[in-house]
Amino acid sequence: MTTLAAVIFWICAAAMVHTYVTYPLSLKLFRHRFSKPPAFADGEWPAVAVLIPAYNEEAVMGNKIRNSLELEYEAGKLEVLVGSDGSTDRTNEIVKSFDDPRIRLIELGGRNGKTGVLNHLVKATTAEILVFTDANVEIESDALRKLIRHFADPLVGTAGAGKYIRVPQGADEVKGEAIYADIVNRLKKTESDIGGMSGGLGSLMAMRRNLYQPYRPSSTNDDTVPSLLATFAGKRNVYDPEAKAYEESGHGLGEEFRRRIRIGAGNFQTLFRYPAILLPKYGIAAYTFVSHKVIRWIFPVLLILVLAANLCLLNNPLYQLALGGQLAFYLIAFIGGMALSGGVRLPIATGLFHFVALNAGLLLGLFVYLKGIRSSAWDRTER
């Protein structure tokens, strides 16, 4: 039992250190082959369809449509499709108020879920490039051209934009999300440059239409699946932080916690539906996917296992010290949470609390997945 506990302890500890420390460092060992994006000649840019799934988005839909129409792209090559998933507010009315031939509203009855809406929108367009974006995302005017330019390379299957978080005034407790997003942007760019499975984000991502496969029923992870399909087809996934998409964070940690549960459930669903990505034949794509995504998805499980194993090894001073470190970690996180509830932000303690809380959300997401995801319908977040 002691030997088994030691093996579990060191494997889990090594995995946790790898995903946040040794993995980013290891990327420096790979040759950067794809840092310079290609470009289309004038008149050769492909037809693009911007697909916007929406459910009761009257607060942001007007701005989203205006923002989409202001995107710099060749005339006659851009259309914007809004899929209203049984909206009961003024979302449909707002979309219809725009007298522009590039705008189309697809009204769906009942609740189909985000991925179900995307399936309907893809059927409604013949565009060569599909662009997925959310109603609450603001896109820089030149971001679409910067994203689509990568498809001049026939080996590119998807292209993801940089995600930049705007923290609402008074929502200091979720500032960690903005910091983390900036770190992810840099990491994904490096993965992209070496040909890894960087993966896009649902805020703004483009995909070749001929790679699209309809999402299966109850699918909840809409951004990782396109990247997996591209990898399976032998294509590259590009990430371009110069193509900027801005998204407002939640207004509080509770809101982000609920979102992390939903994301966690979708992540595990995707992993178990597409386990082939773990095969060594996918090379650098498999390595980046496991190191950056899978280990972070199971990180809360690793935290529990390393603590449980540690408790079985207390006859050794090394493990006594390790246990003390873990307990100090959770104590500092607890202090950070208590301080935050009182309106006081302690940089390190608050950061640890944020990290622990969101990992707890991922763990609950695993339980949601194991219980069974019966619907991909989503509740909108107040913006």
Q: What CATH number matches the domain at 32-252, 1.20.120.160, 3.20.20.70, 3.90.550.10, 3.40.50.720?
A: 3.90.550.10
Q: 3-state class of 294 per DSSP?
A: helix
Please choose, from the candidates 310, 359, 355, 27, the residue with its C-alpha nearest in 3D space to the C-alpha of residue 174.
355
Is residue 122 a contact partner of residue 51, using CB atoms and an 8 Å limit? yes
Is 0.85 topped by the overall pTM?
Answer: yes
pLDDT tens string, the chain, 383 residues long: the values are 789 999 999 999 999 999 999 999 999 999 887 777 777 888 899 999 999 999 999 999 999 999 999 999 988 999 999 999 999 999 999 999 999 999 999 999 888 889 999 999 999 999 999 999 999 999 999 999 999 999 999 999 999 999 888 766 655 555 666 677 778 888 999 999 998 887 777 889 999 999 999 998 888 788 899 999 999 999 999 999 999 999 886 656 677 788 888 888 989 999 999 999 999 999 999 999 999 999 999 999 999 999 999 999 999 999 999 999 999 999 999 999 898 888 788 888 988 998 999 899 999 999 998 888 665 565 555 54
pLDDT of residue 259: 81
Is residue 9 a contact partner of residue 326, using CB atoms and an 8 Å limit? no
The two beta strands, 204-208 and 129-133, are antiparallel
- Residue type at position 242: E
Is residue 223 a contact partner of residue 201, using CB atoms and an 8 Å limit? yes
Spans of all domains in the chain: 32-252
Please choose, from the candidates 276, 1, 307, 277, the residue with its C-alpha nearest in 3D space to the C-alpha of residue 299.
307
Is residue 190 a contact partner of residue 229, using CB atoms and an 8 Å limit? no
Distances (CA, A) of 84 to 90, 119, 181: 11, 13, 28
pLDDT of residue 260: 85
User: What's the CA gap between 116 and 263, in Å, rounded?
Assistant: 17
pLDDT of residue 221: 80
